[in-house]
Structure 1
Amino acid sequence: MYKYGFQNYFEADFTAFYPEVMKGEHWINVYLNFDLSAETKLPGDLYDPSALVVFDREGEVQDFIVHDEGVDCEYKFTDREKEKMLSYIKEHDLI
């Protein structure tokens, strides 16, 4: 993850995901809480990160949003983190 402006860059090592899927008329929202490895050190301004992955009704990814304590924050996911989340979602047929 990294903060806007590419500050506080780190690569999160996910060890488990806990999904919640909400299907709407136009979007499929996959909320992912996750556990991080002991080696993953969060920056001081990121307390309880989670993810919202937004898909359209055809199953195409529209956005990956970092939440902190349940709300949008200034962090973004790295490409590697996005790949891991998308792989998990597809592997478990969540959409």
Structure 2
Amino acid sequence: MIQYGSTDVHELLFASMRASIELRDRQWIDVEIQFELDWENGAALPDDVTELSALLICTYNGEIAQIVPQDEGRDCEFQFTESEKAQLRHYYEQSVKNQLLHKVEHA
């Protein structure tokens, strides 16, 4: 994680993830990903964050438009590193995208 305006980087490793999918409107689909951190490898939340999750804003064809960190369900002053985004993208592609596309088909 990188706090806006800071050069300090705290790399997080995610141990397990779960997602919820919500059709926001006719253009965007919100995928909220909750996760557990890999505490054994030294992962720790920044001091200013209490309940970190990720919001993936996706299109109706399943593409990720944006990945936003959230604290307690709201935007926060941090951003994910490229490695953290890669972990989230991988989980989405492997475990969520097909569910999202199925939900779109039946909407």
Deviation at 1:7, TM superposition (A): 4.3
Which structure 1 segments of 5+ residues have no match?
Answer: none
CA distance, structure 2, for counterparts of residue 94 and residue 75 of structure 1: 28
Compare the two structures and name the one with the higher helix fraction: 2
Q: So what's the TM-score if we normalise by structure 1? A: 0.90
Larger Rg: 2
Displacement over 6 Å in runs of 4+: none
Higher alpha-carbon deviation: 60-69 or 2-11: 2-11
Aligned CA distance change for structure 1 residues 47 and 7 (closer, same or farther; 3 Å) = farther
Written as runs of structure 1 = structure 2, the 5 A alignment for 1:23-62 is 23=23, 24-38=25-39, 39-62=42-65
Paired residues in the alignment total: 95
SS of structure 1 residue aligned to 2:89: helix
| RMSD, aligned α-carbons | 1.3
Q: Is the 8 A contact 1:8 1:43 kept in 2?
A: no
Deviation at 1:72, TM superposition (A): 0.6
Q: Percent identity?
A: 31
CA distance, structure 2, for counterparts of residue 88 and residue 37 of structure 1: 15
CA distance, structure 2, for counterparts of residue 69 and residue 47 of structure 1: 7
Compare the two structures and name the one with the higher strand fraction: 1
Q: So what's the TM-score if we normalise by structure 2? A: 0.81
Letter of the structure 1 residue corresponding to residue 64 of structure 2: V
Written as runs of structure 1 = structure 2, the 5 A alignment for 1:1-95 is 1-23=1-23, 24-38=25-39, 39-92=42-95, 93-95=98-100
Which structure 2 segments of 5+ residues have no match?
Answer: 101-107
